[in-house]
Structures are given as C-alpha cells and as structure tokens.
Structure 1
Amino acid sequence: MLAVIAAALVLAPVTAAEPPFRVPDYVTDNAGVLSQAQRTRVEDAVNELYNERRVRLWVVYVDSFGQDPVGWARVTMQISDFGDYDALLAVATRERAYAFQVPSAIMSQSDATALQRNAIEPALRQRDWTAAAVAAADGLATPGASTGPSSGSGVTWYGLLIALAIFGLIILGLVLWSRRRRRKRREAEFAAAKRVDPLDPNALAAVPIEALDDLSKMMVVDVDNAVRTSESELALAVEEFGTAQTEPFSRAVGSAKTTLAQAFNVRQILDDAVPETMQQRRDLLTRVVVAAAKADRELDAQSEAFDKLRDLVINAPTRLDTLTQQMVDLTARLGPSEQALAALHNQFDAAALASVAENVNTAKQRLGFADQNITTARTSVARPVGQQMGLVDAIRAAESSLGQARSLLDAVDSAGADINRAVAALPDAIADIQNGVNQANGVLQQGTTTHQSELSAARDQAAAAIADAQKNGSADPLGTFTRLTKADAELDRLLASVTEELQTTKRLSRAFDQALFSAQSRVRGVSDFIDTRRGSVGPEARTRLAEAVRQLQAAQDTRATDLSQAIAHANGADMLASQAQTLASNDVAAAQRSYTSGWGGGGSGSDMGGVIGGIIIGNILSGALRGGFGGGFGGFGGGLGMGRSTSFGGSSRSSGRSYSGGGGRF
C-alpha cells in the first residue's frame, strides 16, 4: 500500500509556482488560456474602463501562485509600481485560486466583495477566464451598481415588467450610445491617421490598429485608381510623343504597378481565413500602407513633367514664335559684342580674356543650331496629331541653344566691368590676406592648436597667392583676384576654427579650475571629518572617500590631454565626497545614539568623544569600560566599530495605500 502511494506521488503532475513579477502589459497570459479573440475582448474591456474612469485594470493568468493569492498579488503590485488607480485581477488557473485587489480610492470593500462574489467567482468556476476579466472591468466601470441577486417582497408583475422595459430601453440606449461613440472615435482616429506620413513606419506605429486597417484599404483603392488612370493617359502619350519621350513615365507606372501588387498581396494575407496575432496584423498593415504610399509617390514624381510634356505640344505654335523672336534679338547683339571684345583685347592681355575670347563665334554656332531646330519644329507642328514625332525634341534643342548663346554674349558684356572691378579691388584683397597670413604666423608660433599642419599649408598657399598677385595682377586681374579670394577664404576658415578652439580651451580651463577647487575642498573637509571621528565611521563612507581621492587624481592627470574628461573626474570626486560625508555623518549619529542608550546615559561626554574619535578604543574598551558597563556595551561596540549607514541606496517606505477586494479559491 505504501509503495502505491509513493508511486502516485512520484507520477502526479507538478505545477511549478510562478513567483511575483513586474507585469509587462494590461493582459498577461502566462498560463496560455486565452485565444486571440478572447484576449482582444479582455483588452477592449480594459481599454473601455480606462477611457471611462481613467482606471487601469491589469489582468494576469498564471498556472500556480504557490502561496496566498492576496500576498502574491500585493507583491506583484509593489514590483509593478502600481499607483492609486491601478487594480489587479490575478488568476492561478490550475490551482483554482485568484486575487482581486483594487485601491479603496476606486472601490469600497463592500462593492469589491459583491463584485467578486456575484460576477468574478461564478465566471471562474465555469473556467470562463474571459468573462471573469470582463466582469471585473465592467464592475470597476460602474462601482456601487448591484451585482448580486435582488430580493424583496411586494413587487407586482406589472411593476416588474415596467422595470424590465425601462431597463431594456436603458440598455438599448447605452448600446446605441456606445456604438456611436466608438464610431466617432474611430472616425477621429482615421482622420488623424490620414495626416501621418505614410512612408514613416515609426509614425504608423502610433496609429490605432483599426484606423491603420481603414487607412490601408483607402490607400490601395486610391492608388489603384491612380495607376489605372495613369496607364490610360500614358497609352495616349506614347502614341503622340513616342517611346523615347515617354520612357520615364512608363518606368514610373511600371514601378508603381509592381509596388501596388505587393500591397494587394499583403491585403490578401490579412483577409484570408488564417488569423494573425495583433503584432503580425499591425506589421502587415504597415507594409500595405508604406507600399501604397510608395507607389503613389512614384506617380506623383513624374506628374509635373508629364503635364509639361503635354502642354509643350499644345502650345507649340506660340512657343515657336517666342523662340524666333529671341533668336532675332540675340542675332542683333553679335556685332556690338564683337566690338566690345576687340576693345578688351586692346586693354588687357590675352590671358585675362581666355574665358571669353571665343564667345562671339561660339554664340553664332548656337544660333545657327537653334534656327535649324525651329524650322524642324514648325514642320512637325504642321502635321496631323499623332504624326508630330520629333516636335518636343526640336523645341527643347532650340531652347537650349538660345539659352547658351545668351549666356555667351552676356559674359562678353560683363567681362570688362568684372576685370576693372577686380583691378580696383586687388590692393585691398592683398592687404586683407596679408593680415590673415600674419595672424596665422602668430598662432603657429604658439603651437597650441590641433590644426597645426592644415593652418601651415593654408598660410603658405595664401602667401603664394599674394606673390602671384603682385607679379601678374595687371596681366590677369580677374584670375588673380579669384585665386586670392579662394586662398583667403580657406585661411579665414582655419583661423576661425583655431580661434574657436582656443576660446573653448580657455572656457574649459576655467571650468576645470572651479571644479577642481570645489572637489579638493570637499574631499579635504570629508577626510578631516572622518579622521577626527574614525572610531565611529564605517567602511562605506571610507570607500566613497577613497574613490573620490582616486577621481581627484585622475582629474589632475588628464588635464593636459582631455579637459572635458578631467572636468568629469573632478565633478565625480565632488559627488563621491558628498556621499561620503552623508554616510559618515549617519555613522557618527548612530554611534552617539548607541553610546547613550547602551550605557543608560552613564559615562562622561569626553569619554564618548574619545571613543567616537578613536582615541581610547585601544585601552578603555579592553579594560574599565568593559567591566564597568557589562553586557550593555555589546550593542554599543557593534554600533561604533562596525556601524552601517541606513541611508545609502534609498529606503523602503510604505505608501500608505489601502486596498479593497480579496481572493481565495474558486
């Protein structure tokens, strides 16, 4: 018989108890008793409770508590940092135990007991885990409502029917109101979702999942319509302009169709019979929205160019007239530009005019090419619609040629003024860059900058530019001025960086001196405090002081190489010394209390001072005091010799919060 019992005990299933833990989410199903639909129902009830009363209900399912349910729940709530508006329903499904804890500020004990007895426990007895959580949420949403069976006498059937009718109307009104409220909330969320950047997954992560679903459906429909419309317009454009002119638009439509197909494929996954988790569904919806938005952007990127292409053909006759007039105007400028160029050659060397010497001849070539393309375009315009191949290319070629001819002639007209301006500005430019060279020499002699080699190279380049300007300035004023300004700009940039670096170094040096002085003063003061009270200060304060001294030395060692790090070390030393002072003061205060209480007020103040200061530990503790005060000194010795601070690392304080509810078996 004993063997049978032992075998039964060995073979019996053992459910490991789950210790209290920090609750990660409003619904935590470590027991695995909820389906996805059931979890969603519980989450909806919890969210509805928060929206109505700003009360947070946390629901936890585990296999076993392994201890008193209420105690398990209280520890879990403490670990989870629950506040005055956090309630917990914890259920151990296998050991049939539960706890329902709610702050008294939310629900009274009587209401909590009624809610447990009449709503939560009946559902748990039926193993309807979802109904129990929903009942808890509903009960918290309407505290004080009757949750138990009614009793009484003298109620007529007529009055009962009226009451039931009124109750039914109220329920119907609440249902309609709730549906309307949810619809308006969903509409508001959808409107907000449409304002989010659809190409930003991080922004989409904040959109409620129902609004994200609505957004994905709207976008695939809108983009599909846009793709279909673009395909129709593209077919007409290809017939009118040919494949070469419309190739960018064809590529954009094809890319948009491919991206949209990916979006439709993901929507199919969402709409099939296979359920997804909430996170999987959110990830798929985000992919749909991003893909549809990408396809839409690809079409938008080419829409403006497509419209311009269509307008160019429609307005071709007017455009050609304008180009013809521009050509006449530019042709009239050729003679004056030739005369201006000849005058410049008489005034300046050929090197100064190298950039514009051939401009007039080149402009004549561009005008001839423009005239040829204008003639070709007019021939194309005269053909029927659909046979105007080459029209767009001819118009654009003419426009480009005329633009280049205009730029060439403008350069000739402005060359004289630019060169004369450069000649007038050269002396000031040379003087300015010479000042920069002198300033760079002064900085390089100090040898205190990290830009030493760069600044030296820039100074040498600036000096070379000065020498070149003094030698060749009259032959090529514009080129000389350009080289001067370029060298000056680089030298000024490096000088500005060096100046800022030196100013930063000065500021950091002042900050370091201040931090070092403060840390040294505090470390010295704490060291003196501990030294004169060494008989009562424990190891924690001494450890902090030793680390402060180490940080202080590190600050001084790193000053020459890294001022920022040195300041950090000094500030760290200051903070550690402050902690050491607090710990040491607490130890001394504890020793004084222990001295007074341990000796019953006996002994002189000077004796206590000697003990605390560590002066008479060696002779008196081993002799007269031990005999004179007996066993009472044992506690004092522990308080002084091995005193521990009770402040470092924080303290555990009771919040004073009271709870309603309870727990038990079901």
Structure 2
Amino acid sequence: MTGDLWWVPSAILLAFVVLGVTLVVASARRRRRDREQAEAAVVAERARAAAIALVRADDQVGAATDELGFAVAQFGEAATRDFATALELSRRQLRDAFALQQKLDDSVPDTESERRRWTEQIIALAAESTTRLAEQDRVFTARRGRERDAPLLLEQLTRRVDRVTDRVASGAASIDRLRLSYAPTALAAFSGNVAEARTALGQAKQATDAAAAHLKAVPGYPIGDELAAAELGLFHAGKLLDAIETGEDQLHVGQATLNAALDSADAEIAEARTLRDGHEESVAAAELNRVITAADAIVAELRHPSRVSDPAADLARLREVLDGLDVTRSEARNQQLRLDNARAALAGALLAARSQGTVTRSFIAAHPGRVGAEARTRLAESERLVALAEAEADPVTALDTARRATTLATDADALARYDARFD
C-alpha cells in the first residue's frame, strides 16, 4: 500500500508550488494595477490644474485688455508701452496654450508621453502669462495710488528737496573741513559726491517744479512720472551724501588707529635701541641701527603737524617698516641668545677639554716610550685648541674650539691606551 501512495508527497509539494506562483503573480498584478491607478490620478490632477490655469489666464488677459484701455486714457500711450508689450506676449502664450489643449481634446489618439508633456506646457504658459500681467497690474495700481495722492506726495517731496538741499551744503562743508586734515587720496572715494548730489538734486527739483506747474494748470493732471523722477533724484542724492558721512567716520577711525600704531611703534623702536646698544656683534648692531633709523624717519614724517594724512596708506607704510624692524630685531635677538648660550656652555667645555687632556698627559707620562706619535700629536693639538679657546673673544667660536679640543684629547687617550696595551 505504501508503494501505491508514493506520489502523495509529490502532489502536495506541487500544489504548494502552484499556490506560491499564483500568489506571486496576483501580487505583481495588484502592484501594477495600483501603480497604474496612481499614475492615472496624477495625470487627471495635472489635467484639472491645466484647465484651471487656462481659465485664469484667459480671464486675466481679458481684464488686462480693459485695464490697458483705462491706462492709455489716463496716462497716455508712451507710459503704457511696456504694458501693451506684456499684454501682447501673454495673448500669444494663451493662444499657444489653447492650441495644446485642443490637441488633447480632439479625436486624434495621443501617447501618454505627449499628453503629459502638453499638459505641463499648458500650465507653464498660463502661469507665465498671468504672472506677467499681474506685475503690470501692480505697477499701474501703484501708479494710480500715486496719482490719487499726488498733491500730498508732491508736498512731501518738496519738503525733502529742501532737506536734501541743506544736506548738500553740509556735505560740501564737510569735504572742505576734511581737506585740512586728510590727503586727496584719502578723500578720493567721495570727494566728488557733492557735485553729483547737486546734479541729482537739481533733477529732483526740476521734476517737482514741473509737477506743481501741471497741477496748478490742470487739477488732477497725472504727475506720476514727475513724482517718480523726483523720488529717484532724491534717492541718488541721499546715497551720495550718506557716503560722505560714512567716509568721514571711516577716516576718523583710521586716523585713531594710525595714532595708536605710532605709539606702539615708539615702544618697538625703543626695544630695538636697547637690543642694539647691548649687542655684542657689530654687524647685528649695525643692521639694527639701519632699521631703527628708517622706522624713526617714517614715524617722524607721519607725526609732522603740517602733514595731511591718508590713514590707510600711512598705516601700510608704517606696518611695512615695523615688519622689517621686527624681523631684524628677532634675528639680532637670536644671535645674542646664541652668544649668551655659548658663553654659558664654554666654561664646562673648557673644563672637560682640560680634564681629558690632563688624564691623557698623565697616562702617557706613566708609560714612557710605549705611546706612539699619533696619540701624542692629537694631545698636543688638543692642548693648542684649549689655549685658542681661552683666548677667543667670540664665545660661539670658543665653544666650538673647546669641543674639538675635548674630542682630540679623548681620541689621544684611546690611542695611547691602545699603544700601551700592545707594545
């Protein structure tokens, strides 16, 4: 019986395999269906967005057409030329967008890629069209606001013209005062601002005078252009005068910084003089004297009471000479430190050379005839170098000589002991 049922486990396994495959296929189909539905929802949403954008753009173009007519009647064709250009461009874009929508709506089959691309183009064209016209609408709304408040704005601008006139006179006085203390190069960045501010102020005053004459002759006359020109002229004049005030503040700060740097220079020069006067090396002292003289000359020049200053340039000159002083002073200080260190080590080096020489000389004396000439020659040279080191004025040279003497005495001792051992 067992032999008759051998196929049962195989049938069960096959059933599980078939079930697994069925589930995988069903899951894949479900995922594909969900993805297709999601993509279809996105496409439908973009299509609705395109339709809404088209309607909005069409309404905007219609409203802008009426608005342009009102603007031309109120401000004239010259003032509305940019508006007319913007409207024509928006109309062309709207026509292009409707043409694309027609291709989507006709009976000619379209690919999914084409539909997506055309839908996005419709949305972009409509958005550009409405944005452009909205900007023009803001411009003319603001302009009508100015025209409505023109008498008040003109009065305010007239008062500003008076205030800026006073500031121009004050700026000219500031420049004249600064010329007494500062060089032309220090004032170059803003010395011409008074003349430029006068020109801008003149343009603003001319615009306000023209606006006042127009309103007097024809109440309600559109003076927006004159008001805008006056505003622009006053803005430029104000910026130019602000630069004078800022420049003056910066010059005073620069001069204070220069004065502090000159005081610091005095201390640095005094320190260099002390180092020069106590330095043992004549070459280093001479080099210190050279840079001290150069620094003294610059400091005296920059402090001269009748001199006009350019703080930035003067600081650069002072810093350059003080940098040179600092480098030379550091080198001289290192040289002096080297001398001091050598002098401190010299006594020990001479003691070591003498002691080793005495030991070696005693060993040779204790072994007469057994130590050769080489050991005796090195000892003699060591003793000669000790005498030179003791007489040398330069401690660095003396230290090097004493150390060579110690080495020779040590070599002589080793050779002597070798000779005595094998004689």
- Residues 416/83 of structure 1: CA separation in 2 closer, same or farther (3 Å cut): same
Shift of 1:422: 1.6
CA distance in 2 between partners of 1:230 and 1:86 (Å): 55
Alignment pair present for 1:86 and 2:27: yes
Alignment of 1:22-37 (within 5 A): none
Q: What's the offset of the Cα at 1:280?
A: 3.2
1:399 aligns with 2:231: yes
Q: Aligned match of 1:408 in 233, 236, 240? A: 240
The CA distance in 2 between the partners of 1:481 and 1:239, in whole Å, is 63
Distance 2:58 2:76 in 1: 25
1:302 maps to 2:136: yes
Identity %: 28
Separation in structure 1 between the aligned mates of residue 42 and residue 312 of structure 2, nearest angstrom: 64
Task: Considering fraction of residues, name the structure with more strand.
Answer: 1
**Retained in 2: the 8 A contact 1:418–1:478?**
no
How far, CA to CA, are the matches of 1:225 and 1:211 in structure 2? Answer: 21
Q: Residue 276 and residue 358 in structure 1: after superposition, are their counterparts in 2 closer, same or farther (change >3 A)?
A: closer
CA gap 1:386/1:218 in 2 versus in 1, 3 angstroms: farther
For 2:93 and 2:317, how far apart are their aligned partners in 1?
A: 52
Shift of 1:225: 0.4
Q: 1: distance between equivalents of 2:193 and 2:240?
A: 5
Which digits, 9 at most, give the CA deviation of each residue in 1:258-309, with x for residues without a partner? 1111111111122222233444333332322222222222223433323222
Other-structure match for 1:53: none
Residues 1:423 and 1:481: Cα distance change in structure 2 (over 3 Å): same
Q: 5 Å matches for 1:92-171? A: none
1:85–1:395 distance in 2 versus 1, CA, 3 Å: same
2:145 is aligned to 311
Instruction: Please say which structure displays the higher CA radius of gyration.
Output: 2
Displacement of 1:251 after TM fit?
2.0
Structure 1 residue 419 corresponds to structure 2 residue 251:
yes
Q: Is the 8 A contact 1:367 1:405 kept in 2?
A: yes
Where does 1:51-66 land on structure 2 (aligned, <5 Å)?
none
8 Å CA contact 2:302–2:314 kept in 1: the answer is yes
Q: Tell me what 2:199 maps to.
A: 365
**How far did residue 344 of structure 1 move?**
1.1
Distance 1:255 1:206, change over 3 A: farther
Q: Which residue of 1 aligns with 2:331?
A: none
Contact 1:370/1:401 (<8 A) preserved: yes
The SS at the match of 1:333 is helix
More helix by share: 2
Q: Structure 1 pair 377/278, CA: closer, same or farther in 2 (3 Å)? A: same
Alignment: residue pair count:
257
> Per-residue displacement from partner, 1:62-103 (whole Å, max 9, x unpaired)?
xxxxxxxxx9xx99x97xx97485166xxxxxxxxxxxxx9x
The answer to whether residue 181 in structure 2 is matched with residue 347 in structure 1 is: yes
Q: What is the alpha-carbon distance in structure 2 between the residues aligned to residue 234 and residue 378 of structure 1?
A: 27
Q: Hey, what does 2:373 align to over in structure 1?
A: none
Q: CA deviation at 1:352?
A: 1.4
Give secondary structure in 1 for the equivalent of 2:309: coil
Shift of 1:429: 9.7
- Matches of 1:409 and 1:401 in 2, distance apart? 12
Structure 2 CA distance for partners of 1:345 and 1:259, relative to 1, 3 Å: same
Aligned residues of 1:373 and 1:398 also touching (Cα < 8 A): yes
TM-score, with structure 2 as normaliser: 0.51
* Contact kept in structure 1, 2:215 and 2:221, CA below 8 Å: no
Segments of 5+ residues of structure 1 without an aligned counterpart are: 1-70, 89-101, 103-136, 138-185, 190-204, 431-468, 485-666
* Stretch deviating more after TM superposition (359-368 or 243-252): 359-368
Letter in 1 for 2:150: A
- CA–CA distance in structure 2, aligned partners of residues 82 and 247 of structure 1: 69
**Contact residue 205 and residue 230 of structure 2 kept, 8 A:** yes
- Corresponding position: 1:259 with 2:112: no
Residue in 1 that maps onto 2:309: 475
Contact 2:161 2:234 in 1 (8 A): yes
Shift of 1:423: 2.5
Q: Following TM superposition, by how much is the alpha carbon of 1:426 offset from its aligned partner in structure 2, in angstroms? A: 5.2
Question: What does the per-residue CA deviation read over 1:501-560, in whole Å, with 9 as the maximum and x for residues that have no partner?
Answer: xxxxxxxxxxxxxxxxxxxxxxxxxxxxxxxxxxxxxxxxxxxxxxxxxxxxxxxxxxxx
Aligned mates of 2:255, 2:40 — CA distance in 1: 64
**CA distance in structure 2 between the partners assigned to 1:429 and 1:348 by the alignment:** 18
Taking structure 1 as reference, are residues 82 and 385 closer, same or farther at Cα in structure 2, changes over 3 Å only? farther
CA distance in 2, matches of 1:278, 1:421: 70
2:79 partner amino acid: Q
1:240 touches 1:386 (CA, 8 Å); kept in 2? no
Q: CA–CA distance in 2 between the matches of 1:429 and 1:263?
A: 70
- The two structures, once aligned, show a CA RMSD in angstroms of 4.0
Between 305-314 and 205-214, the greater mean CA deviation after superposition: 205-214
Alignment of 1:382-393 (within 5 A): 382=216, 388=222, 391-393=223-225
**Aligned partner letter, 1:327:** V
Measure how far apart 1:243 and its partner are. 2.7
1:259-658 alignment runs, 5 A limit: 259-382=93-216, 388=222, 391-425=223-257, 475-478=309-312
Unaligned runs of 5+ in 2: 1-13, 263-297, 319-423
Distance 2:122 2:247 in 1: 59
Shift of 1:229: 0.2
CA separation in 1, counterparts of 2:150 and 2:316?
43
The equivalent residue for 1:449 is none
Confirm or deny: 8 A CA contact 1:316 1:381 kept in the other structure: no
Describe the shift of the 1:266–1:359 C-alpha distance in structure 2 as closer, same or farther (beyond 3 A): closer
Deviation (angstroms), 1:394: 1.7
Between the aligned partners of 1:401 and 1:481, the Cα distance in structure 2 is 37
Residues 161-210 of structure 1 show CA distances to partners (whole Å, capped at 9, x for unaligned) of xxxxxxxxxxxxxxxxxxxxxxxxx9xx9xxxxxxxxxxxxxxx896222
Structure 1 partner of 2:76:
242
